[in-house]
Structure 1
Amino acid sequence: MPLTSFRKERTKEELRLILPEINEVLESESAVLRIDPESIMLIGDIHGNLEALEFVMQKREKLGCKKILFLGDYVDRGMQGTEVLTKLFRVKLEDPENVFLLRGNHETIDMNFFYGFFEEIGFDRDFLLEISRTYDRLPVAAVISGHTFCVHGGIDGTGNISSITKEGAFPYLWNDPSERPGLSISSRGSTVREFGPDIVEGFLDTNGLKRIVRGHTAIMTGYKWWFDGKLLSLFSCPDYVGLGNAAAFALIEKEEIKIVAFES
């Protein structure tokens, strides 16, 4: 067996061994986390980029920021998804009160089959089924200090956050913002929706919130503000599939958000 294949199999086995423990921790968390930090880092898509994840964790230590929230999409498109999941699950197990992991649309079997993770794990269906049971336990969203709603994709209307469930995660993993008002069909597929500024305004009003922070969209600058600062898109995987894009994460202190580029 080539050395790289041996290392990948060893990482798979390490990941498999911690799944029961991480499942128990994630099972205990609600669909919508409530986090009240002095400060917190918000991290966008990682997509199997271990170097990006290590940069983020080094920044966490340098900034002295205990709490960190990942917005999903840990695997696919990059070939270090097993390493990324292993590292994330380990830091979550070591520090469950400060490390939080949301589910992204790539934390699903359907995406893993077609976008790289299934190939990365040697087309191992049994292993993918094991991982999928962990995916199902991941929280869907988080509310930071009662003012910021964090999610991978977006929202599904102007309803109350209390209606969000792990079983009904789909729209929160997939939906995107749009300048068009209302809810409209997305180019991503007929079951996906785009939500306009009026939907964001209504959602924030219903839930007494200030803003939404989400991932899901590759952005050349690593971040993008929408709707007069009511929504922030983050992307934390530099040079995603060769696009040459920058990457960024956000730091919330009190109610203020600071954007940190990966070069910083």
Structure 2
Amino acid sequence: MSSRKIAAKEKLRLILPKVDSIFESEPAVLLIDNEPVMLVGDIHGDLQALEFIIKMREKINCKNILFLGDYVDRGPQGTEVLLSLFSLKIKEPEHVFLLRGNHESVDMNLYYGFFEEIGSDQKFLLRISLTYDKMPIAAVLSGHTFCVHGGINGTESIDTIRKEEPFPYLWNDPSKSPGLTNSRRGSTVKEFGHDIVDGFLKANNLKRIVRGHTALETGYKWWFDGKLLSLFSCPDYAGIGNDAAFSLFENKELEIFVFGNQQK
């Protein structure tokens, strides 16, 4: 590990208790009623992308910003990304919101880069996993738009979502097939169709879902006649050459901003 990486890791270690107490005070489903809100998909250790997004936040003068998870793994600067995001959360707890993604887990970190990045430090990884477990799982914007990293688990009430049982909300994906069907991601993961989305939105008196989790060529993709938006905010993810995107939620509408490596 470089001296710079060691220093970032130590700074991150020192702020974990403070960010833990903030996450503990937040419910599994955040209710965010102040607009506008900037919505950001997966970052995956891309510090340049994160810094670009934070600059854009200042440029468009948007106080409220919601990240949809997956801050580490795949990219080389997960430590610095977490340090930046957790520091921002401590500084602006009422305006910066961080949801948990499926890569905020020990199982993923062991195999997809973050464990190696932190010098294969098992004690540190176990410590940061305690922080992961305290993070909120989803958010509702202005009683209108449901935000989550992965997806939904049927037509259940959002009142049933618990930090202790986050799996389907971190992992599930939309599908062209109706119902809840098996996923290529694994036997415990499900894909949900348009009928499931309709039922979920109706059961919770909501109008739309915004989620991350999926690498996309243009950084975003609309599903189900505009009822679901998928966002991905890490350009050139794993060298595939994709663009990235974030969105601005205001007056219950979504404006999409696309960026690539050349704009970072």
- Cα deviation digits, residues 167-209 of structure 1 (max 9, x gap): 1100000000001000011000000000000000000000000
> Superposition pairs for residues 87-236 of structure 1, below 5 Å?
87-236=84-233
Q: Tell me the distance in 2 between the aligned counterparts of 1:13 and 1:196.
A: 44
Q: Tell me the distance in 2 between the aligned counterparts of 1:207 and 1:38.
A: 20
- Cα deviation digits, residues 129-160 of structure 1 (max 9, x gap): 01000000000000000000000000000010
Secondary structure of the corresponding residue to residue 2 of structure 2: helix
Q: Tell me the distance in 1 between the aligned counterparts of 2:11 and 2:168.
A: 32
| AA of the residue aligned to 1:161 | I
Aligned partner of 1:73 among 70, 75, 80: 70
- Cα deviation digits, residues 186-242 of structure 1 (max 9, x gap): 000000000000000000000000100000000000000000000000000000000
1:49 — aligned with what? 46
Shift of 1:117: 0.1
The answer on 1:23 being equivalent to 2:20 is yes
Q: How high is the TM-score relative to the length of structure 1?
A: 0.98
Shift of 1:262: 1.6
- Cα deviation digits, residues 72-129 of structure 1 (max 9, x gap): 0000000100000000000000000000000000000000000000000000000000
The answer on 1:258 being equivalent to 2:260 is no
1:248 — aligned with what? 245
| AA of the residue aligned to 1:59 | M
Q: Tell me the distance in 1 between the aligned counterparts of 2:217 and 2:258.
A: 12
1:82 — aligned with what? 79
The answer on 1:33 being equivalent to 2:30 is yes
Secondary structure of the corresponding residue to residue 96 of structure 1: coil
Shift of 1:38: 2.0
Shift of 1:69: 0.1
Q: Which runs of 4+ in 1 moved over 2 A?
A: none
Q: Tell me the distance in 2 between the aligned counterparts of 1:223 and 1:140.
A: 21
Which blocks of at least 5 consecutive residues in structure 1 are unaligned? none
How many positions carry a matched residue from both structures?
261
Shift of 1:5: 1.2
Which blocks of at least 5 consecutive residues in structure 2 are unaligned? none
Q: Percent identity?
A: 68
RMSD: 0.8
Secondary structure of the corresponding residue to residue 195 of structure 2: helix
